[in-house]
Structure 1
Amino acid sequence: MHPHAGVAIVAILAMIVLTLGYVMACAVWPFTACRRCGGAGKHRSPSGRAFRYCRRCKGTGARLRTGRKVYNAVRRLYREGR
């Protein structure tokens, strides 16, 4: 066995564990805080008195995770293909 084979196996197993963890996180928590507004759902004006709703999340403060978007797209393709 090659001396670097053990390191490669550990790296592959770590990537598999991280991927499965992300898939489980997307299943349990499909939404994450909007990065533009920080999860608040609104932006304050420079004076601090007025606010407007965030355009990216439409004022909800939550965005659908990328992994969940992919899962929904695959599920939609499968459903429409039957």
Structure 2
Amino acid sequence: MTPTHELLAILIPAALMLTLGYFLTCVIWPFKPCRHCSGTGKRHARIVTAFRLCTRCHGTGRRIRLGRHAYNRTSHHRRRTQNRR
């Protein structure tokens, strides 16, 4: 085997394991903490020391993961096209 083939023999299974791991993460934990409010659901007002609900997560403190969002869109599209038949 050449060094290129040896490298590919390592990289391809590693990429598959990472993809499978991210898929399982999206299935088990579909939400992640909101980066804008650090998962609290509240933001400080600009002038006063009062709190307001986070506008990005709507006060929940959680945002849907990118992979789960893509899965939801794909499955919704598939269900919608199957119902048209």
RMSD over equivalenced CA pairs, Å: 1.4
Which secondary structure state, in structure 2, belongs to the residue aligned with residue 57 of structure 1? coil
The residue type paired with residue 5 of structure 1 is: H
Partner of 2:50: 50
Give the distance between the partners of 1:72 and 1:46, measured in 2 at CA. 35
Which secondary structure state, in structure 1, belongs to the residue aligned with residue 38 of structure 2? coil
Which structure has the highest helix share of the two?
Answer: 2
The residue type paired with residue 3 of structure 2 is: P
Moved over 6 A (4+): none
Shift of 1:42: 0.5
Shift of 1:48: 7.3
Give the distance between the partners of 2:7 and 2:25, measured in 1 at CA. 27
Partner of 1:20: 20
The residue type paired with residue 59 of structure 1 is: G
Equivalenced residues, count:
82
Which structure 2 segments of 5+ residues have no match?
none
Partner of 1:33: 33
Give the distance between the partners of 2:70 and 2:80, measured in 1 at CA. 15
Further displaced range: 45-54 or 6-15: 45-54
Q: TM-score, normalised by structure 2?
A: 0.88
Further displaced range: 38-47 or 4-13: 38-47
Further displaced range: 36-45 or 67-76: 36-45
The residue type paired with residue 9 of structure 1 is: A
The residue type paired with residue 8 of structure 2 is: A
Question: Which digits, 9 at most, give the CA deviation of each residue in 1:40-62, with x for residues without a partner?
Answer: 00012467741011000000000
Further displaced range: 3-12 or 29-38: 3-12
Partner of 2:63: 63
Question: Which digits, 9 at most, give the CA deviation of each residue in 1:12-68, with x for residues without a partner?
Answer: 111110000000000000000000000000012467741011000000000000000
